[in-house]
Amino acid sequence: MRETPADLLDLLEADHRQVELLLGEFDSVSPTRRKELFCQLTHELVRHEVAEELVVYPALRDLPGGDRIADTRISEQAEAEERLAKMEKMDAESDGFARQVITLRSAVVTHAKAEETSAFTMLRDAVPAEQRVELGARYTKAKEAAPTHPHPHSPDTPPGNVVLGPVAALIDKMRDSAARVS
């Protein structure tokens, strides 16, 4: 049975809710389980952000006023990637890590709300539903091929992200595979 194609905005909103749930789990998870939860959160966030950079923001830039919104949201994502990269090197059981999670949660939730009220509204109003379904399919493919770890110094916009993204994804998948073996 073939799955019904999804509207891009539905996919994005589902990702936002999933990340918010993961962030909420930090309130009740033991310090010894933080690393595992953080890896899952990082995987979700990075793939989402990369797919947005490849599909959502270029579509947004085609709309009047879209450049400003795309630039702002990309800047917020770059800050989150920097924080994720820093947190990957921290002891997940430390109090410092727990404080970083609180800061990350605030930034990510604020970003998601801003994106939903600005970018999503603009796309919903200006892009026909059938085109949003096409964008949804492209977003899903981009997310599947995206890196799984933050690369804060990689380009966020074409052509750099299109060229370097697959290389980073391959390296990340090898890194994840090696981590499972050890």
Sign (positive or negative) of CA dihedral 134, 137, 140, 145: negative
pLDDT of residue 148: 72
Residue among 83, 3, 74 nearest 42 (CA)? 83
Query: How does the average pLDDT of the chain come out, rounded?
Result: 85
The answer to whether the beta carbons of residues 33 and 158 sit under 8 Å apart is no
Give the pLDDT confidence of 22-38 residue by residue, as tens digits: 999 999 999 999 999 99
Give the SS3 label for residue 3: coil
Length of the chain: 182
- Give, to the nearest 10 degrees, the angle between helix 95-115 and helix 8-25: 160
Alpha-carbon separation of residue 69 from 28, 56, 121, 164, 177 (angstroms) = 35, 11, 11, 24, 36
What's the pTM value of the predicted model, to 2 decimals? 0.80
Residue among 71, 107, 62 nearest 87 (CA)? 107
Give the pLDDT confidence of 46-95 residue by residue, as tens digits: 999 999 999 999 999 999 999 999 999 999 999 999 999 999 999 999 99
In the predicted model, is pLDDT for residue 154 greater than 80? no
